[in-house]
Structure formats: structure tokens, C-alpha cells
């Protein structure tokens, strides 16, 4: 990754990290409205209208006792460093960081992440960051 891209993505992540906690006034079970187009959802695609099908993270949850397995897939092709999903991030119901998975588009053909959580319940937010089409957020309820 070039230094310029590293700085750009680092700044975007820092801004998103500052903005998401302030969106806590959103209704329970919903994803907050994008703040200044910092992130996008199925219902609020902003300037990237029509891109949700390939950028919105798809979240599957399975439980086995006290363990919750979360599989996040973004149906986006990885075109090397030209156009790819940079990473997946999980946030808890209070928009606090839980886990992340960085992708290497030179080695990974499909952006899929699997996370294991212990004793978690409540809303879970999955973020998918595209190097060209910004940050996309999906929510799922973990019972």
C-alpha cells in the first residue's frame, strides 16, 4: 500500500471512529443516519446510490452455547490494489470496537471475515471499507 493511501485510510478511519459514537441517538436496531456522508447504509446510499449490492456487508450470526460466530461477507470483487475491500470492522451496540480483519487484495479473492464473540447480545454493526466507495454499515441483532 502506498504511503498516501495509508494516510488517507487512516484519516478516514479516525473520522469514522469519532463520528459513529455521536450517532447514538438513532432508534434501537437501526443504523444511524450518515453523518456528512462518512458512511453509507442500505437505506442511505448517498453519493454511492446503486453500490449497496456490492459494498454493503452481509452478516450471518450463529450461536453455540455462549459463543457467537459472526461471518461478514462483502460481495465485492477484489481487483488487486485498484479496487478492493480494505477491511471489515465489528462494533458493539454502543459503537465500540470489537474486532477487525484487514484484507490483502493480492492474496484474497473474496472479502470474508469470521469473528467469535463470547456472551454477546444486542445490536452488532459490521463495517466494510472500500478503497473507492467509502465505508458501508449493516446491523444485526444478536439474541
pLDDT exceeds cutoff 90 at 53: yes
Collapse the DSSP code of 64 into the 3-class scheme (helix H, G, I; strand E, B; otherwise coil) and give the result: strand
This prediction's pTM: 0.76
Highest mean pLDDT among 10-14, 43-47, 70-74, 116-120: 70-74
What is the b/e burial string over 91-125, where b = at least 16 CB atoms within 10 angstroms of the residue's CB?
bebebeeeeebebebeeeeebbbebebeebeebbb
pLDDT digits (tens, 9 = 90+) for 76-117: 999 999 999 999 999 999 999 999 999 999 999 999 999 999
> What pLDDT is stored for residue 34 in this prediction?
46
Which residue has better confidence, 25 or 112? 112
> What pLDDT is stored for residue 74 in this prediction?
98
Collapse the DSSP code of 34 into the 3-class scheme (helix H, G, I; strand E, B; otherwise coil) and give the result: coil
Cell of 11: 484519516
109's torsion region: left (phi>0), alpha (psi -120 to 50) or beta? Answer: alpha
> What pLDDT is stored for residue 35 in this prediction?
46
Q: Which residues contact 8 (CB under 8 A, 6 or more apart)?
A: none
CATH hierarchy code of domain 3-142: 2.60.40.730
Task: Map out the domains of the chain as residue ranges.
Answer: 3-142
> What pLDDT is stored for residue 24 in this prediction?
42
Collapse the DSSP code of 125 into the 3-class scheme (helix H, G, I; strand E, B; otherwise coil) and give the result: strand
Amino acid at each position: 500500500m502506498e504511503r498516501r493511501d495509508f494516510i488517507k485510510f487512516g484519516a478516514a478511519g479516525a473520522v469514522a471512529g469519532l463520528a459513529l459514537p455521536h450517532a447514538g441517538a438513532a432508534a434501537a436496531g437501526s443504523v444511524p443516519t450518515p453523518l456528512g456522508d462518512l458512511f453509507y447504509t442500505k437505506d442511505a446510499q448517498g453519493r454511492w446510490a446503486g453500490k449497496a449490492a456490492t459494498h454493503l456487508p452481509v452478516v450471518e450470526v450463529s450461536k453455540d452455547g455462549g459463543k457467537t460466530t459472526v461471518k461478514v461477507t462483502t460481495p465485492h470483487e477484489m481487483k488487486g490494489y485498484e479496487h478492493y475491500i480494505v477491511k471489515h470492522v465489528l462494533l458493539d451496540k454502543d459503537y465500540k470496537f470489537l474486532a477487525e480483519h484487514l484484507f490483502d487484495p493480492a492474496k484474497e479473492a473474496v472479502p470474508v471475515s469470521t469473528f467469535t464473540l463470547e456472551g454477546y447480545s444486542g445490536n452488532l454493526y459490521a463495517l466494510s471499507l472500500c478503497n473507492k466507495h467509502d465505508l458501508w454499515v449493516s446491523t444485526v441483532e444478536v439474541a
